[in-house]
A and B are shown apart, each in its own frame.
Chain A
Amino acid sequence: MSNRTDSNVYTVLFAIGMVVVVGALLAFTASSLKGKITQNVELEKQQNILYAMGVNENDESSAVFVNKEEAPELFSKYIKQQLVIENGNVKEDNKAYLLDIKKDKALAGGDASKRHLPLFVGEKEGQTLYVIPIYGKGLWDAIWGYVSVDENMVVQGAYFDHKGETPGLGANIKERYFMDDFIGEHLLDASGNFKGIEISKSNADPENKDKEDNEVDAIAGATITGNGVGAMIKSDLALYVPYFKNLNK
């Protein structure tokens, strides 16, 4: 290395130049791709909601969404109503699927009456399904998902996703064998009180034959991610219990 690059002036100038060049490059990439990325994110939300309703292209073992191009059309076909529940008042809002739950949670600051709760009422093969978004935290970062239930809060489908769980372990919450376990599982206990679904390591029921035990089998090596899934189901779905109580009156 030559002496020229050792001088302090050169070092400082190089650092400044590098920051400007790299910063400009990243800013340019981010702003020029922003529109397309936002569009992809929105389409994905529609795909997720449809997936939880059972509208998907699953093959034998892997989870496959409906085609991205067809998502908006299918979304308007299957989703009959998009609702936002605010302190017990139900409003219709056809942009409800874009509501940022993380932000809403933060703004409400633990006060459930300040929350804006999106709810998607869908219809598939004559059955009315209610799709509810959930949001929580796993081991490393955020986890979220959509759960579809019938009017008795029995799960009809679930989709989970994550930002940065460990590949091969916690990341498996978005695998079929885990998500499919929730189908048919009850969220209420025998006496009709909300109980949620626990991700259990000790239920001795790996095939999940008992659908009324409020438990599904955990993933080995992914305890904290699994607990996170259980926690977000419990905290977020509980907020919708009054709506369903009302519905069944």
Chain B
Amino acid sequence: MGLLSKKDAKLITDPLADNNPITIQVLGICSALAITAQLKASIVMALSVMAVLGIGNVVISLMRNIIPSKIRIIVQLVVVAALVIIVDQVLKAFSYELSKTLSVFVGLIITNCIIMGRFEAFALGNGPWKSFLDGVGNAAGYGLILIIVGFFRELLGSGTLLGFKVLGDSVKKTGLYAIGYENNGFMLLSPMALIVVGIIIWVQRSRNKALIED
């Protein structure tokens, strides 16, 4: 697997495509369904996960030789929960508005399986610098899918992108809505996120046959 390649750059680029955490490793699906109804929420989540996974991977990597293997999952959970809570508290004190925006994501980050997955699969066996790159790369791959899904769900579900009414006004019937176009309310519900992810997986595997399992 390319993940163990000597080249550090591959640690970043691999998770973007051929080893994408969502479409190939199938990690972090739950949060991908939950928060992709709007593009803005997808972007915020992508950046938050990138920060937490990058730093968390470094911390776990530094501790990798002293963590008892029997309780390593608990140790990982404690590290990520402590990190997220400290950041949340600091934001509450110094940037209250930002913390209000992010607070709904805190629970989703701590329980995000992509974070535990990367700690377990990479940081426990590699040095801090490589782990950092792996964390950032995987979070970027995760964020990329989130943003693609968020783009289509917001566009087709609400007719907006980042809150801008790109297709016209659905209430006042202007733009596309004037000729009878309707928003697909189903796109706002979680099952459609699964279907959009499924379509991405299909497109990706039909372009790269090596990814198809037997």
Interface residues in chain A, defined as those with a beta carbon under 8 Å from any beta carbon in chain B: 1-2, 5-6, 10-11, 14-15, 18-19, 22, 25-26, 29-30, 33, 36-37, 40, 44, 61-62, 68, 162-169, 171, 206-207, 220-221
Contacts and interface: CB of A to CB of B under 8 A. Distances in A.
| CB-CB nearest 3 A-B residue pairs | A168-B37, A168-B38, A167-B41
A5 B75 CA distance: 13
B94 A36 contact: yes
A164 B69 contact: no
A44 B70 contact: no
Interface stretch (B49-57, B83-91, B128-136): B83-91
Interface SS of B by simple majority: helix
Contact of A40 (B45, B78, B93, B171): B93
Contacts of A2: 65
B68 A6 contact: yes
Given A14-B67, A40-B96, A168-B35, A220 B82 contact: no
A109 to B, nearest CB: 29
Contacts, number: 99
B188 interface: yes
A26 B82 contact: yes
B104 interface: yes
B67 A37 contact: no
A80 B170 CA distance: 41
Interface string B19-56: 00000000000000011111011001100000000000
A206 B177 CA distance: 14
B103 interface: yes
A6 B69 contact: yes
A15 B188 contact: no
Nearest to B36: A168
A166 B67 contact: no
B23 to A, nearest CB: 21
B89 A29 contact: yes
B2 interface: no
A26 B105 contact: no
B104 A169 contact: no
A44 B96 CA distance: 9
A33 B188 contact: no
Contact of A164 (B78, B103, B157): B103
A14 B44 CA distance: 35
B68 A5 contact: yes
A211 to B, nearest CB: 16
A11 B103 contact: no
